């Protein structure tokens, strides 16, 4: 019968057998799946695994530290962190269009990630043969099967590498559903902050700023988001809501009054939703006192924000994210 213990034992044995004395790399996104896959492979082959984490500067407060410190502390994994925040900010300069932002972030991400991979391969030599991915069972079903090999183009700039590197894929979560992955992660000793994490989009806060993405705006949104998350967690609502995007309307200003002066600041939108699979969603009926605390704290503690509004649109017609 299915137990997390037996899944871990089986996978660890299979990975050891398959990888042998070769090396593997794994990209960490900060999400549950890649973290659990990496932890499982680390359990099997230890320092033969190197993880790569690209910090695009669009993460929420504490998320990069969670990977850098908590994940490493829990697993002992060998981690290469690439701080690419300047690069992403530069690429996003002057861009307000949502699709444009998504394209730029996706493109830069792949570039930085491939370069980091290439550097690892250059250091480790030809022994890097395996690429670990956190593919889940629903992903396998949706894409209609899938094979075990992927072509990852290496970066031209790094000398001595073949044009096309063939990696064999290691996908230890291929038979599992999300809740099972969480159980495996827990059993592997990963902290709750990683294992119970709600969905967060790859382009991060970049698509939660309506308007141009700048460092100041990111800092401001990070503060507001941290407050909302803190209060939702304190109220014990994390398991009840699917996720709660916090959005900065950077292109909108409204008049307010604070202390004894007029303000002309930006609104923050709260977008708490309930959902089964994110295909459809309903807005969460959060308790008024929780909403009130979030609103008071954000307007008191975050400079330049003088209004907090609640998004009460279901999906459809609204999407969960604003961009």
Query: Would you tell me which residues interact with ligand XMP (CB under 6 A)?
Result: 199, 201-203, 243, 278, 315, 319-321
Q: What is the DSSP letter of 205?
A: G
Contact 82, 55 (CB under 8 A): yes
Nearest approach in angstroms of CB 246 to ligand XMP is 12
Distance between CA atoms of residues 291 and 294, nearest Å: 5
Our CB check for ligand XMP shows the closer of 120 and 310 to be 310
Residue 77: CB atoms within 10 A of its CB come to 22
Q: Is 30 marked as a binding-site residue? A: yes
Strand-pairing partners, residue 256, are 263
Pairing status of strand 282-283 against strand 273-274: antiparallel
Q: How many helices (H) and strands (E) does the chain have?
A: 11, 13
Looking at the Cβ atoms of 58 and 250, the one nearer to ligand XMP is 58
Considering the complex, state which of residue 245 and residue 267 has its C-beta at the smaller distance from ligand XMP: 245
Whole-number Cα distances in Å, 199 to 41, 51, 164, 281: 23, 21, 32, 13
Residue 35 assigned to a binding site: yes
Do the Cβ atoms of 248 and 225 come closer than 8 Å? no
In the complex with ligand XMP, the residue whose CB is nearer, 185 or 206, is 206
Q: E strand or H helix at 221, and its extent?
A: helix 215-234
Determine if residue 29 is labeled as part of a ligand binding site.
yes
Sheet strands (E) in 38-98 = 49-55, 78-83
Q: Give the shortest CB-318-to-ligand XMP separation in angstroms.
A: 8
Q: How far is the CB of 29 from ligand XMP (least distance, A)?
A: 8
Q: Which residues are annotated as a binding site for ATP?
A: 29-35
């Amino acid at each position: 019968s299915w137990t997390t213990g037996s899944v871990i034992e089986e996978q660890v044995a299979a990975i050891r057998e398959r990888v042998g004395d070769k090396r593997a790399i794994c990209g960490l996104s900060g999400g549950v799946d890649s973290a659990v896959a990496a932890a499982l492979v680390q359990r099997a082959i230890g320092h033969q695994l190197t993880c790569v984490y690209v910090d695009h500067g669009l993460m929420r407060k504490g998320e990069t530290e969670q990977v850098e410190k908590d994940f490493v502390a829990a697993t002992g994994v060998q981690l290469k962190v690439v701080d690419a925040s300047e690069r992403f900010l530069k690429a996003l300069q002057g861009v307000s269009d949502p699709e444009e932002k998504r394209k730029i972030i996706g493109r830069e991400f792949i570039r930085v990630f491939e370069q980091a991979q290439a550097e690892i391969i250059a250091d480790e030599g030809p022994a890097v043969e395996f690429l670990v991915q956190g593919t889940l069972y629903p992903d396998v079903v949706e894409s209609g099967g899938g094979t075990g090999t992927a072509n990852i183009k290496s970066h031209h700039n790094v000398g001595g590498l073949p044009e096309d590197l063939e990696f064999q894929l290691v996908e230890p979560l291929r038979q599992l559903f999300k809740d099972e992955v969480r159980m495996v992660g827990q059993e592997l000793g990963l902290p709750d902050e990683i294992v119970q994490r709600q969905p967060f989009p790859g382009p991060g806060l970049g698509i939660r700023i309506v308007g141009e993405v700048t460092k100041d705006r990111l800092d401001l949104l990070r503060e507001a988001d941290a407050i909302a998350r803190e209060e939702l967690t304190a109220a014990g609502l994390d398991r009840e809501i699917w996720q709660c995007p916090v959005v900065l309307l950077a292109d909108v200003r409204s008049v307010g009054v604070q202390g004894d002066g007029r303000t002309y600041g930006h609104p923050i939108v709260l977008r708490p939703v309930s959902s089964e699979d994110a295909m459809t969603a309903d807005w969460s009926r959060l308790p008024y006192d929780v909403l009130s605390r979030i609103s008071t704290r954000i307007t008191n503690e975050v400079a330049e924000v003088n209004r907090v509004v609640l998004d009460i649109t279901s999906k459809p017609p609204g999407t969960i994210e604003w961009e």
